[in-house]
């Protein structure tokens, strides 16, 4: 003979459903990390921006060498580091938001039967007293 519907509901409400919510929450967190490419951006933080760099040229030309050095280091790498840092910060902020919203959803889903029972009893008390 099968389990009663009450036992099936309790198993679903407190075991199966929270497990699925946790899996979905984990997928959202992992998707956000991949969407913003946070590990890749950290690895390439000081790389050239879009691989823009200036050749130092052949021979000894101090003006050309200085111009290439300034562009490669100060412009291309610094611009890349600034843009990547901003994207990393935005990605981490979204990760924090997803974590907080996921925690709220998990707690609401887990405690919703208790909230419903409490609200029902509270409503009955308001009507009767």
> What is the pLDDT, as a whole number, of residue 129?
85
Global pTM value: 0.77
Q: What is the pLDDT along the chain (129 residues), one digit of tens a residue?
A: 568 999 999 999 999 999 999 999 999 999 999 999 999 999 998 887 776 666 767 777 777 777 777 777 778 788 889 999 999 999 999 999 999 999 999 999 989 999 999 999 999 999 998
**Domain residue limits at 69:** 5-128
> What is the pLDDT, as a whole number, of residue 1?
55
Contact criterion met (CB below 8 Å) for 57 and 65? yes
Phi, psi (degrees; rounded to nearest 5) at 46: -105, 25
Domains contained in the chain, number: 1
> What is the pLDDT, as a whole number, of residue 103?
97
Locate tokens 């409400």: which residue? 13
Question: Which DSSP string corresponds to 6-40?
Answer: HHHHHHIIIIIHHHHHHHHHHHHHHHHHHHTTHHH
């Amino acid at each position: 003979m099968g389990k009663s519907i009450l036992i099936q509901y309790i198993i679903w409400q407190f075991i199966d459903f929270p497990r699925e919510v946790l899996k979905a929450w984990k997928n959202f967190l992992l998707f956000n990390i991949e969407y913003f490419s946070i590990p890749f951006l950290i690895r390439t933080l000081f790389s050239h921006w879009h691989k823009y760099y200036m050749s130092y040229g052949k021979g000894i030309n101090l003006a050309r060498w200085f111009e290439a050095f300034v562009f490669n280091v100060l412009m291309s790498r610094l611009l890349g580091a600034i843009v990547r840092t901003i994207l990393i910060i935005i990605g981490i902020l979204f990760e924090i938001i997803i974590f907080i919203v996921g925690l709220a959803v998990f707690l609401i889903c887990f405690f919703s039967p208790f909230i419903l029972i409490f609200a029902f009893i509270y409503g009955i008390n308001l009507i009767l007293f």
